[in-house]
Amino acid sequence: MRGENKRSVIVGIFVFVGIAILVAGVLTLGGQQKKFVKAIQLKAVFDDIGGLQTGNNIWFSGVKIGTVKKINFYGDSQVEVEMNVEEAVVSYIRKDSKATISSDGLIGNKIIVIYGGSTEVPAVEDGDRLEAVMPLDTDEMMETLQVNNENLVEITANLKELTGKIAAGKGIVGAVMTDSTLAENFKSILVNLDRASVNSNRTINDLNTFTAKLNQKGYLFNDLVTDTTILKDLKSSMESLNSTAANAEQLTNELKALTDKLNSTENSMGMLLNDSAFAESLRSTLENTDSATYNLNKGMEALEYTWPFKKGFKRKAKADAKAAGEGN
């Protein structure tokens, strides 16, 4: 009897421990799956869930807040995901929040991440549908990486070929790097450029000094820029010059008209200057006049000694002598 009682007690203890372990496991799994927590249902429609399964976790701001309840096909080729979300965190999730699919670690299970939302928008309610944002496709990323790798290989090959040509002295760069004469010429060019730069800087400094002096009071340029009296005098001088130029132009035109008239034979002066026949006739006339005048003078002198006029000339000579004496 004692042996049977002892065996019954041991069996009862093992059964009790097994039941306790079973209950603890159920409670643990239920706690992880949020089975015993008040929750609401939210939905999101994805084009591709990428292996997401029922029971996968839902995260919000790095905190697990629920699990995936059900996955259904939606429309033509989309998938609707129903989520159980703890009622305690509903006030932090807004109606304009977004849902996306991510991974729990680098190669872990798929999860749904809820993020975003503005405080001006009300909190979500049971049955609301969140905007779904498709995550980056791993396959597309791998394809892009593959294309980038191929491009990198091609670039590396081109660089290898280019550096080989440069090392062999091909091309301008290779020639400069391998030809000592070109290198010396390049150094000489750099030295000349440096000298030119120094000279340019010196010229610029001289120009700055010159302009600074021009801007000082007492210099002509500064007076021309700032003194309004000089400006008025300059304006007056320019007006006088313009008037003088106009008068000179008028005088030039008048002189031109006069010379044109002198060059013409249609007037007496022009005829005197330009008509040789008239000049010769005038010269002959003047010679005849001079000869006639000479003969007239001779005749007047001879007339003094003729009998009819002799007494008259004597009286005139006495009168002239008397007048001369009275004058003295």
CA distances from 177 to 158, 184, 192 (A): 19, 11, 20
Q: What percent of the chain has pLDDT over 90?
A: 16
Please determine, for residue 161, whether its predicted confidence score (pLDDT) is greater than 90.
no
pLDDT in tens, 240-280: 788 887 888 888 887 777 777 666 666 666 666 666 666 67
Q: What DSSP character marks residue 137?
A: P
- What is the per-residue pLDDT for 42? 93
Which secondary-structure segment (H or E) carries 290?
A: helix 276-303
- What is the per-residue pLDDT for 83? 92
- What is the per-residue pLDDT for 76? 85
Q: How confident is the model at residue 84 (pLDDT cuts 50, 70, 90)?
A: very high
CA dihedral 224, 227, 232, 236 (to 10 degrees): -40
pLDDT in tens, 135-147: 766 666 777 888 8
More confident position, 2 or 123: 123
- What is the per-residue pLDDT for 157? 84
- Distance, in Å, from the CA atom of 305 to the CA atom of 311, rounded to the nearest integer, reads 9
The residue ranges of every structural domain in the chain are: 35-140, 276-308
Which secondary-structure segment (H or E) carries 301?
A: helix 276-303
How many CB atoms are closer than 10 A to CB 236? 10
pLDDT in tens, 4-61: 666 776 767 777 777 778 766 655 655 555 555 688 999 999 988 888 899 899 999 8
The residues facing 6 across adjacent strands are none
| Residue 287 · residue 294 · CB < 8 Å | no
| Residue 93 · residue 124 · CB < 8 Å | yes
- What is the per-residue pLDDT for 94? 92
Mean pLDDT over each residue of the chain, to the nearest integer: 76
According to DSSP, the β-strands at 129-133 and 39-46 are parallel
> What is the rounded average pLDDT of the residues 278-297?
70
The residues facing 139 across adjacent strands are none
Whether pTM exceeds 0.75: no
- What is the per-residue pLDDT for 278? 65
pLDDT in tens, 267-276: 666 666 666 6
Q: How confident is the model at residue 130 (pLDDT cuts 50, 70, 90)?
A: very high
> What is the rounded average pLDDT of the residues 284-297?
71
- What is the per-residue pLDDT for 37? 64
- What is the per-residue pLDDT for 171? 66
- What is the per-residue pLDDT for 59? 93
**Which residues are CB-neighbours of 135 under 8 A, at least 6 positions away?**
50, 100, 101, 102
Please determine, for residue 220, whether its predicted confidence score (pLDDT) is greater than 80.
no
- What is the per-residue pLDDT for 58? 92
